[in-house]
Structure 1
Protein backbone atom coordinates (compact mmCIF):
# COMPACT_ATOMS: atom_id res chain seq x y z
CA UNK A 1 0.00 0.00 0.00
CA UNK A 2 1.12 3.57 -0.58
CA UNK A 3 1.46 5.77 2.49
CA UNK A 4 -0.65 8.41 0.76
CA UNK A 5 -3.50 5.90 0.44
CA UNK A 6 -3.21 4.92 4.11
CA UNK A 7 -3.21 8.59 5.13
CA UNK A 8 -6.43 9.30 3.22
CA UNK A 9 -8.10 6.16 4.57
CA UNK A 10 -7.32 7.23 8.14
CA UNK A 11 -8.57 10.78 7.59
CA UNK A 12 -11.86 9.48 6.16
CA UNK A 13 -12.41 6.89 8.88
CA UNK A 14 -11.56 9.24 11.75
CA UNK A 15 -14.33 11.51 10.45
CA UNK A 16 -16.68 8.53 10.20
CA UNK A 17 -15.93 7.63 13.82
CA UNK A 18 -16.59 11.21 14.94
CA UNK A 19 -19.97 11.11 13.19
CA UNK A 20 -20.80 8.24 15.55
CA UNK A 21 -19.46 10.18 18.56
CA UNK A 22 -16.30 8.10 18.88
CA UNK A 23 -13.19 9.94 19.99
CA UNK A 24 -9.62 8.84 20.51
CA UNK A 25 -6.87 9.24 23.12
CA UNK A 26 -4.11 11.78 22.62
CA UNK A 27 -1.57 9.28 21.25
CA UNK A 28 -3.92 8.56 18.32
CA UNK A 29 -3.06 12.06 17.05
CA UNK A 30 0.73 11.98 17.50
CA UNK A 31 3.06 12.95 14.68
CA UNK A 32 6.19 11.00 13.76
CA UNK A 33 8.24 13.43 15.89
CA UNK A 34 5.90 12.97 18.85
CA UNK A 35 6.55 9.22 18.69
CA UNK A 36 10.31 9.67 18.45
CA UNK A 37 10.33 12.06 21.42
CA UNK A 38 8.12 10.06 23.78
CA UNK A 39 9.64 8.85 27.04
CA UNK A 40 9.51 5.39 28.63
CA UNK A 41 6.32 6.16 30.53
CA UNK A 42 4.47 5.49 27.24
CA UNK A 43 6.05 2.07 26.59
CA UNK A 44 2.74 0.27 27.05
CA UNK A 45 1.51 1.78 23.78
CA UNK A 46 4.27 0.21 21.69
CA UNK A 47 4.80 -2.94 23.77
CA UNK A 48 1.11 -3.88 23.61
CA UNK A 49 0.53 -2.80 19.99
CA UNK A 50 -1.93 -0.03 20.79
CA UNK A 51 -2.93 2.43 18.11
CA UNK A 52 -3.75 2.41 14.41
CA UNK A 53 -3.76 -0.45 11.94
CA UNK A 54 -4.60 -0.35 8.22
CA UNK A 55 -4.19 -3.47 6.09
CA UNK A 56 -5.07 -4.80 2.67
CA UNK A 57 -3.91 -8.32 3.61
CA UNK A 58 -1.32 -8.24 0.86
CA UNK A 59 -4.00 -7.97 -1.83
CA UNK A 60 -3.01 -4.55 -3.26
CA UNK A 61 -6.75 -3.98 -3.37
CA UNK A 62 -7.91 -2.33 -0.14
CA UNK A 63 -11.39 -1.73 -1.51
CA UNK A 64 -11.91 -5.50 -1.80
CA UNK A 65 -9.85 -6.88 1.10
CA UNK A 66 -9.17 -4.41 3.85
CA UNK A 67 -9.67 -3.26 7.41
CA UNK A 68 -8.97 -0.24 9.62
CA UNK A 69 -8.55 -0.73 13.37
CA UNK A 70 -7.58 1.19 16.46
CA UNK A 71 -6.55 -0.65 19.63
CA UNK A 72 -7.36 1.33 22.78
CA UNK A 73 -6.06 -1.15 25.36
CA UNK A 74 -4.45 -4.57 25.44
CA UNK A 75 -2.39 -6.96 27.53
CA UNK A 76 0.81 -8.70 26.51
CA UNK A 77 1.28 -12.49 26.35
CA UNK A 78 5.08 -12.07 26.40
CA UNK A 79 5.19 -9.87 29.49
CA UNK A 80 2.07 -10.40 31.55
CA UNK A 81 3.88 -9.28 34.72
CA UNK A 82 4.45 -5.78 33.36
CA UNK A 83 1.17 -5.70 31.41
CA UNK A 84 -1.35 -7.84 33.31
CA UNK A 85 -4.51 -6.77 31.46
CA UNK A 86 -6.32 -9.96 30.33
CA UNK A 87 -8.45 -8.01 27.85
CA UNK A 88 -8.31 -5.99 24.64
CA UNK A 89 -10.58 -3.27 23.21
CA UNK A 90 -10.61 -2.27 19.55
CA UNK A 91 -12.51 -0.18 17.06
CA UNK A 92 -12.69 -1.63 13.55
CA UNK A 93 -14.14 -0.15 10.37
CA UNK A 94 -15.23 -2.12 7.32
CA UNK A 95 -16.42 -0.50 4.09
CA UNK A 96 -19.22 -1.80 1.94
CA UNK A 97 -17.65 -4.08 -0.68
CA UNK A 98 -14.71 -5.02 1.55
CA UNK A 99 -13.99 -8.44 3.04
CA UNK A 100 -12.06 -9.37 6.16
CA UNK A 101 -10.70 -12.76 5.02
CA UNK A 102 -11.63 -16.06 6.65
CA UNK A 103 -9.61 -16.69 9.83
CA UNK A 104 -9.80 -17.94 13.37
CA UNK A 105 -7.99 -17.09 16.61
CA UNK A 106 -5.84 -19.57 18.45
CA UNK A 107 -5.87 -17.72 21.78
CA UNK A 108 -8.52 -15.02 21.69
CA UNK A 109 -12.20 -15.13 22.61
CA UNK A 110 -13.96 -12.06 21.24
CA UNK A 111 -17.21 -10.16 21.19
CA UNK A 112 -17.93 -8.46 17.86
CA UNK A 113 -20.36 -5.56 18.30
CA UNK A 114 -21.96 -3.47 15.56
CA UNK A 115 -21.83 0.09 16.90
CA UNK A 116 -23.31 1.89 13.93
CA UNK A 117 -23.56 2.39 10.21
CA UNK A 118 -24.47 -0.58 8.03
CA UNK A 119 -25.12 -4.24 8.77
CA UNK A 120 -22.14 -6.50 9.45
CA UNK A 121 -22.25 -10.04 8.08
CA UNK A 122 -20.16 -12.88 9.56
CA UNK A 123 -19.84 -16.22 7.77
CA UNK A 124 -18.75 -18.92 10.23
CA UNK A 125 -17.35 -22.44 10.41
CA UNK A 126 -15.63 -24.54 13.00
CA UNK A 127 -12.01 -25.49 12.34
CA UNK A 128 -10.94 -29.13 12.22
CA UNK A 129 -7.83 -30.76 13.71
CA UNK A 130 -5.82 -29.74 10.62
CA UNK A 131 -6.91 -26.10 11.06
CA UNK A 132 -9.01 -26.21 7.89
CA UNK A 133 -12.72 -25.51 7.48
CA UNK A 134 -15.03 -28.03 9.11
CA UNK A 135 -17.85 -27.97 6.57
CA UNK A 136 -20.07 -30.41 8.48
CA UNK A 137 -20.33 -29.66 12.19
CA UNK A 138 -22.72 -26.99 13.52
CA UNK A 139 -21.19 -23.90 15.11
CA UNK A 140 -22.10 -22.83 18.63
CA UNK A 141 -21.90 -19.14 19.55
CA UNK A 142 -23.62 -16.55 21.71
CA UNK A 143 -25.63 -13.75 20.05
CA UNK A 144 -26.61 -10.96 22.43
CA UNK A 145 -26.66 -13.34 25.40
CA UNK A 146 -28.47 -16.15 23.59
CA UNK A 147 -26.66 -19.41 22.93
CA UNK A 148 -27.25 -20.48 19.33
CA UNK A 149 -26.17 -23.37 17.13
CA UNK A 150 -26.13 -22.87 13.36
CA UNK A 151 -25.07 -24.99 10.36
CA UNK A 152 -21.51 -24.69 9.04
CA UNK A 153 -21.20 -21.82 6.57
CA UNK A 154 -24.08 -19.80 8.03
CA UNK A 155 -23.92 -16.04 7.54
CA UNK A 156 -25.10 -14.13 10.61
CA UNK A 157 -26.13 -10.49 10.16
CA UNK A 158 -25.48 -8.01 12.96
CA UNK A 159 -27.51 -4.82 12.81
CA UNK A 160 -26.37 -1.77 14.81
CA UNK A 161 -26.46 -2.66 18.50
CA UNK A 162 -26.22 -6.42 17.97
CA UNK A 163 -23.23 -8.58 18.93
CA UNK A 164 -21.74 -12.04 18.56
CA UNK A 165 -19.37 -13.94 20.85
CA UNK A 166 -16.91 -16.34 19.21
CA UNK A 167 -14.50 -18.62 21.06
CA UNK A 168 -11.13 -19.84 19.81
CA UNK A 169 -11.02 -22.02 16.69
CA UNK A 170 -14.13 -20.59 15.01
CA UNK A 171 -13.46 -19.44 11.45
CA UNK A 172 -15.17 -16.19 10.51
CA UNK A 173 -15.24 -13.87 7.50
CA UNK A 174 -16.63 -10.35 7.56
CA UNK A 175 -18.59 -8.52 4.90
CA UNK A 176 -21.03 -5.61 4.85
CA UNK A 177 -24.60 -6.29 3.77
CA UNK A 178 -24.92 -4.62 0.34
CA UNK A 179 -26.73 -1.32 0.37
CA UNK A 180 -26.29 -0.65 4.10
CA UNK A 181 -22.97 1.26 4.09
CA UNK A 182 -19.76 1.43 6.11
CA UNK A 183 -19.83 -0.31 9.52
CA UNK A 184 -18.35 0.80 12.83
CA UNK A 185 -17.44 -2.32 14.81
CA UNK A 186 -16.29 -2.66 18.40
CA UNK A 187 -14.32 -5.65 19.58
CA UNK A 188 -14.00 -6.65 23.23
CA UNK A 189 -11.77 -9.66 23.68
CA UNK A 190 -9.11 -11.42 25.66
CA UNK A 191 -5.52 -10.25 25.07
CA UNK A 192 -4.67 -9.97 21.39
CA UNK A 193 -1.36 -10.50 19.58
CA UNK A 194 -1.66 -10.40 15.80
CA UNK A 195 1.86 -11.81 15.45
CA UNK A 196 0.90 -15.22 16.88
CA UNK A 197 -2.88 -15.49 17.20
CA UNK A 198 -4.37 -15.35 13.70
CA UNK A 199 -4.83 -18.42 11.51
CA UNK A 200 -5.96 -17.27 8.05
CA UNK A 201 -7.46 -19.94 5.82
CA UNK A 202 -5.21 -18.70 3.02
CA UNK A 203 -1.60 -17.77 3.68
CA UNK A 204 -1.81 -13.98 3.54
CA UNK A 205 0.24 -11.24 5.24
CA UNK A 206 -1.38 -9.44 8.15
CA UNK A 207 0.90 -6.38 8.05
CA UNK A 208 1.15 -4.61 4.66
CA UNK A 209 4.30 -3.55 2.84
CA UNK A 210 4.19 0.24 2.60
CA UNK A 211 5.53 2.45 -0.18
CA UNK A 212 6.63 5.68 1.49
CA UNK A 213 5.43 8.31 -0.97
CA UNK A 214 4.60 10.90 1.70
CA UNK A 215 4.97 11.55 5.44
CA UNK A 216 2.71 9.41 7.66
CA UNK A 217 -0.42 11.20 8.85
CA UNK A 218 -0.59 8.72 11.75
CA UNK A 219 1.77 5.86 12.56
CA UNK A 220 0.44 2.30 12.39
CA UNK A 221 1.47 -0.19 15.08
CA UNK A 222 3.54 -1.94 12.42
CA UNK A 223 5.54 1.29 11.95
CA UNK A 224 6.74 1.70 15.51
CA UNK A 225 10.20 0.12 15.19
CA UNK A 226 10.99 1.39 11.71
CA UNK A 227 9.88 4.94 12.49
CA UNK A 228 11.89 5.17 15.71
CA UNK A 229 9.03 4.92 18.22
CA UNK A 230 10.73 1.91 19.82
CA UNK A 231 14.33 1.79 20.96
CA UNK A 232 16.35 -0.64 18.83
Structure 2
Protein backbone atom coordinates (compact mmCIF):
# COMPACT_ATOMS: atom_id res chain seq x y z
CA UNK A 1 0.00 0.00 0.00
CA UNK A 2 1.51 3.33 -1.01
CA UNK A 3 2.20 5.86 1.75
CA UNK A 4 0.54 8.52 -0.40
CA UNK A 5 -2.70 6.50 -0.31
CA UNK A 6 -2.42 6.07 3.46
CA UNK A 7 -1.97 9.84 3.88
CA UNK A 8 -5.06 10.41 1.71
CA UNK A 9 -7.11 7.92 3.77
CA UNK A 10 -6.07 9.65 7.01
CA UNK A 11 -7.20 13.04 5.69
CA UNK A 12 -10.51 11.64 4.42
CA UNK A 13 -11.09 9.68 7.63
CA UNK A 14 -10.37 12.64 9.89
CA UNK A 15 -12.90 14.76 7.97
CA UNK A 16 -15.51 11.98 8.17
CA UNK A 17 -14.99 11.60 11.94
CA UNK A 18 -15.24 15.35 12.51
CA UNK A 19 -18.50 15.45 10.54
CA UNK A 20 -20.10 13.54 13.43
CA UNK A 21 -18.73 15.90 16.08
CA UNK A 22 -16.06 13.48 17.29
CA UNK A 23 -12.76 15.25 17.97
CA UNK A 24 -9.51 13.29 17.99
CA UNK A 25 -6.97 13.70 20.84
CA UNK A 26 -4.09 16.18 20.33
CA UNK A 27 -1.44 13.51 19.69
CA UNK A 28 -3.35 12.41 16.58
CA UNK A 29 -1.95 15.44 14.77
CA UNK A 30 1.68 15.26 15.85
CA UNK A 31 4.11 15.02 12.98
CA UNK A 32 6.42 12.00 12.76
CA UNK A 33 9.28 14.15 14.07
CA UNK A 34 7.21 15.37 17.03
CA UNK A 35 6.23 11.84 17.99
CA UNK A 36 9.80 10.62 17.60
CA UNK A 37 11.24 13.42 19.73
CA UNK A 38 8.66 13.11 22.51
CA UNK A 39 8.50 9.28 22.49
CA UNK A 40 5.74 9.12 25.15
CA UNK A 41 5.53 5.57 26.49
CA UNK A 42 1.83 6.03 27.12
CA UNK A 43 1.32 6.40 23.38
CA UNK A 44 4.10 4.36 21.78
CA UNK A 45 4.14 1.36 24.14
CA UNK A 46 0.34 1.28 24.31
CA UNK A 47 0.23 1.51 20.50
CA UNK A 48 -2.20 4.40 20.44
CA UNK A 49 -2.78 6.15 17.14
CA UNK A 50 -3.51 5.67 13.46
CA UNK A 51 -3.96 2.22 11.95
CA UNK A 52 -4.83 1.91 8.25
CA UNK A 53 -4.92 -1.69 7.11
CA UNK A 54 -5.57 -3.57 3.92
CA UNK A 55 -4.64 -6.84 5.68
CA UNK A 56 -1.65 -7.14 3.35
CA UNK A 57 -3.92 -7.86 0.38
CA UNK A 58 -3.37 -4.55 -1.52
CA UNK A 59 -7.08 -3.88 -2.12
CA UNK A 60 -8.14 -1.43 0.57
CA UNK A 61 -11.38 -0.33 -1.08
CA UNK A 62 -12.66 -3.93 -1.12
CA UNK A 63 -11.04 -5.26 2.07
CA UNK A 64 -9.67 -2.93 4.70
CA UNK A 65 -10.38 -0.85 7.77
CA UNK A 66 -9.58 2.58 9.21
CA UNK A 67 -8.81 2.53 12.94
CA UNK A 68 -7.51 4.92 15.58
CA UNK A 69 -6.73 3.61 19.05
CA UNK A 70 -7.64 6.36 21.51
CA UNK A 71 -6.76 4.62 24.77
CA UNK A 72 -5.41 1.24 25.80
CA UNK A 73 -4.46 -0.51 29.03
CA UNK A 74 -1.74 -3.07 29.64
CA UNK A 75 -1.91 -6.83 29.28
CA UNK A 76 -0.08 -7.11 32.60
CA UNK A 77 -3.00 -5.40 34.32
CA UNK A 78 -5.40 -7.97 32.90
CA UNK A 79 -3.39 -10.79 34.46
CA UNK A 80 -3.38 -8.93 37.80
CA UNK A 81 -7.10 -8.21 37.57
CA UNK A 82 -6.76 -4.52 38.37
CA UNK A 83 -5.56 -1.34 36.74
CA UNK A 84 -6.40 0.02 33.30
CA UNK A 85 -8.24 -2.98 31.85
CA UNK A 86 -9.92 -1.26 28.93
CA UNK A 87 -9.35 0.18 25.47
CA UNK A 88 -11.20 2.42 23.02
CA UNK A 89 -11.03 2.79 19.25
CA UNK A 90 -12.77 4.86 16.62
CA UNK A 91 -13.05 3.17 13.23
CA UNK A 92 -14.48 3.63 9.76
CA UNK A 93 -15.87 0.78 7.69
CA UNK A 94 -16.58 2.01 4.21
CA UNK A 95 -19.60 0.99 2.18
CA UNK A 96 -19.18 -2.66 1.16
CA UNK A 97 -15.60 -2.68 2.51
CA UNK A 98 -15.03 -6.10 4.05
CA UNK A 99 -13.23 -6.59 7.35
CA UNK A 100 -12.40 -10.32 7.24
CA UNK A 101 -13.63 -13.09 9.52
CA UNK A 102 -11.69 -13.25 12.79
CA UNK A 103 -11.97 -13.78 16.51
CA UNK A 104 -10.13 -12.70 19.66
CA UNK A 105 -8.69 -14.95 22.34
CA UNK A 106 -8.77 -12.43 25.21
CA UNK A 107 -10.57 -9.30 24.12
CA UNK A 108 -14.27 -8.71 24.71
CA UNK A 109 -15.61 -5.75 22.75
CA UNK A 110 -18.63 -3.58 22.24
CA UNK A 111 -18.97 -2.61 18.57
CA UNK A 112 -21.08 0.54 18.23
CA UNK A 113 -22.55 2.14 15.13
CA UNK A 114 -21.81 5.82 15.80
CA UNK A 115 -23.32 7.09 12.56
CA UNK A 116 -23.59 6.78 8.79
CA UNK A 117 -24.93 3.65 7.13
CA UNK A 118 -25.84 0.31 8.63
CA UNK A 119 -23.08 -1.83 10.12
CA UNK A 120 -23.50 -5.45 9.06
CA UNK A 121 -21.80 -8.25 11.03
CA UNK A 122 -21.61 -11.89 9.95
CA UNK A 123 -21.38 -14.01 13.10
CA UNK A 124 -20.41 -17.55 14.09
CA UNK A 125 -19.86 -19.22 17.44
CA UNK A 126 -16.57 -21.08 18.09
CA UNK A 127 -16.39 -24.85 18.18
CA UNK A 128 -14.57 -26.81 20.89
CA UNK A 129 -11.18 -26.23 19.19
CA UNK A 130 -11.80 -22.51 18.61
CA UNK A 131 -12.65 -22.94 14.94
CA UNK A 132 -15.85 -21.81 13.26
CA UNK A 133 -18.97 -23.72 14.24
CA UNK A 134 -21.15 -23.57 11.13
CA UNK A 135 -24.13 -25.18 12.85
CA UNK A 136 -24.48 -23.57 16.28
CA UNK A 137 -26.95 -20.77 16.91
CA UNK A 138 -25.34 -17.42 17.63
CA UNK A 139 -26.30 -15.59 20.82
CA UNK A 140 -25.07 -12.02 21.39
CA UNK A 141 -26.15 -9.12 23.64
CA UNK A 142 -27.25 -6.00 21.78
CA UNK A 143 -27.76 -2.95 23.98
CA UNK A 144 -28.93 -5.12 26.86
CA UNK A 145 -31.18 -7.33 24.73
CA UNK A 146 -30.07 -10.85 23.76
CA UNK A 147 -30.32 -11.55 20.05
CA UNK A 148 -30.22 -15.00 18.48
CA UNK A 149 -29.23 -15.70 14.89
CA UNK A 150 -28.48 -18.82 12.84
CA UNK A 151 -24.83 -19.67 12.24
CA UNK A 152 -23.49 -17.11 9.77
CA UNK A 153 -26.48 -14.86 10.38
CA UNK A 154 -26.22 -11.17 9.56
CA UNK A 155 -26.70 -8.70 12.40
CA UNK A 156 -27.49 -5.22 11.07
CA UNK A 157 -26.87 -2.32 13.43
CA UNK A 158 -28.47 1.06 12.80
CA UNK A 159 -26.73 4.22 14.07
CA UNK A 160 -26.82 4.18 17.87
CA UNK A 161 -27.04 0.40 18.14
CA UNK A 162 -24.29 -1.88 19.41
CA UNK A 163 -23.35 -5.51 19.96
CA UNK A 164 -21.14 -7.16 22.57
CA UNK A 165 -18.75 -9.77 21.19
CA UNK A 166 -17.19 -12.03 23.80
CA UNK A 167 -13.84 -13.76 23.23
CA UNK A 168 -14.11 -16.54 20.66
CA UNK A 169 -17.07 -15.20 18.69
CA UNK A 170 -16.17 -15.12 14.99
CA UNK A 171 -17.10 -11.94 13.15
CA UNK A 172 -16.67 -10.13 9.86
CA UNK A 173 -18.27 -6.77 9.05
CA UNK A 174 -18.87 -4.07 6.46
CA UNK A 175 -20.88 -0.93 5.84
CA UNK A 176 -24.24 -1.07 4.08
CA UNK A 177 -25.82 1.93 2.40
CA UNK A 178 -22.89 4.21 3.23
CA UNK A 179 -19.68 4.54 5.20
CA UNK A 180 -20.04 3.79 8.93
CA UNK A 181 -18.39 5.44 11.91
CA UNK A 182 -17.72 2.70 14.47
CA UNK A 183 -16.87 2.95 18.13
CA UNK A 184 -15.15 0.10 19.92
CA UNK A 185 -14.98 -0.22 23.71
CA UNK A 186 -13.13 -3.31 24.86
CA UNK A 187 -10.82 -4.96 27.30
CA UNK A 188 -7.12 -4.35 26.68
CA UNK A 189 -6.32 -4.47 22.98
CA UNK A 190 -3.36 -6.43 21.59
CA UNK A 191 -3.33 -6.37 17.79
CA UNK A 192 -0.01 -8.23 17.66
CA UNK A 193 -1.19 -11.49 19.25
CA UNK A 194 -4.96 -11.42 19.84
CA UNK A 195 -6.35 -11.52 16.28
CA UNK A 196 -7.09 -14.99 14.90
CA UNK A 197 -8.16 -14.83 11.24
CA UNK A 198 -10.10 -17.50 9.40
CA UNK A 199 -7.69 -17.26 6.46
CA UNK A 200 -3.92 -16.68 6.52
CA UNK A 201 -3.77 -12.90 6.02
CA UNK A 202 -1.79 -10.15 7.69
CA UNK A 203 -3.10 -7.72 10.28
CA UNK A 204 -1.15 -4.73 8.93
CA UNK A 205 -0.40 -3.20 5.53
CA UNK A 206 2.84 -3.58 3.61
CA UNK A 207 3.87 0.01 2.93
CA UNK A 208 5.61 1.43 -0.14
CA UNK A 209 7.32 4.66 0.94
CA UNK A 210 6.58 6.84 -2.07
CA UNK A 211 6.21 10.01 0.04
CA UNK A 212 6.75 11.16 3.61
CA UNK A 213 4.15 10.05 6.17
CA UNK A 214 1.59 12.62 7.27
CA UNK A 215 1.33 10.83 10.61
CA UNK A 216 2.89 7.59 11.78
CA UNK A 217 0.81 4.44 12.00
CA UNK A 218 1.05 2.19 15.04
CA UNK A 219 2.71 -0.35 12.75
CA UNK A 220 5.46 2.26 12.08
CA UNK A 221 6.49 2.66 15.72
CA UNK A 222 8.98 -0.19 15.96
CA UNK A 223 10.89 1.00 12.89
CA UNK A 224 10.54 4.78 13.12
CA UNK A 225 10.69 5.31 16.88
CA UNK A 226 12.07 2.23 18.63
CA UNK A 227 14.45 1.15 15.87
TM-score, length-normalised on structure 2? 0.95
Alignment of 1:177-196 (within 5 A): 177=176, 180-196=177-193
Counterpart secondary structure, 1:126? strand
> Residue 199 of structure 1 corresponds to which residue in structure 2?
196
> Residue 75 of structure 1 corresponds to which residue in structure 2?
73
**8 A Cα contact 2:53 2:203, kept in partner:** yes
Alpha-carbon displacement from aligned partner over 1:112-135 (angstroms, at most 9, x marks no partner): 000001100000001213332101
**8 A Cα contact 1:4 1:213, kept in partner:** yes
Alpha-carbon displacement from aligned partner over 1:15-51 (angstroms, at most 9, x marks no partner): 0001011111111001111012105xx2110111111
**8 A Cα contact 1:116 1:183, kept in partner:** yes
Q: Distance in 2 between matches of 1:49 and 1:168?
A: 21
> Residue 135 of structure 2 corresponds to which residue in structure 1?
136
Q: Distance in 1 between matches of 2:150 and 2:200?
A: 25
> Residue 210 of structure 2 corresponds to which residue in structure 1?
213
State yes or no: 1:18 paired with 2:15.
no
Structural RMSD (CA): 1.4
Counterpart secondary structure, 1:183? strand
Q: Distance in 2 between matches of 1:36 and 1:201?
A: 35
> Residue 107 of structure 1 corresponds to which residue in structure 2?
106
TM-score, length-normalised on structure 1? 0.93
Q: Distance in 1 between matches of 2:189 and 2:72?
A: 7
Q: Per the alignment, do residues 78 and 222 of structure 1 end up closer, same or farther by CA in structure 2, a change over 3 Å counting?
A: farther
Cα drift, residue 153 of structure 1: 0.7
Cα drift, residue 79 of structure 1: 6.6
Q: How many residues are aligned here?
A: 225
Q: Distance in 2 between matches of 1:176 and 1:189?
A: 21
4+ residue segments displaced more than 3 Å: 78-81
Is there any run of 5+ residues in structure 1 with no aligned partner, and where? Answer: none
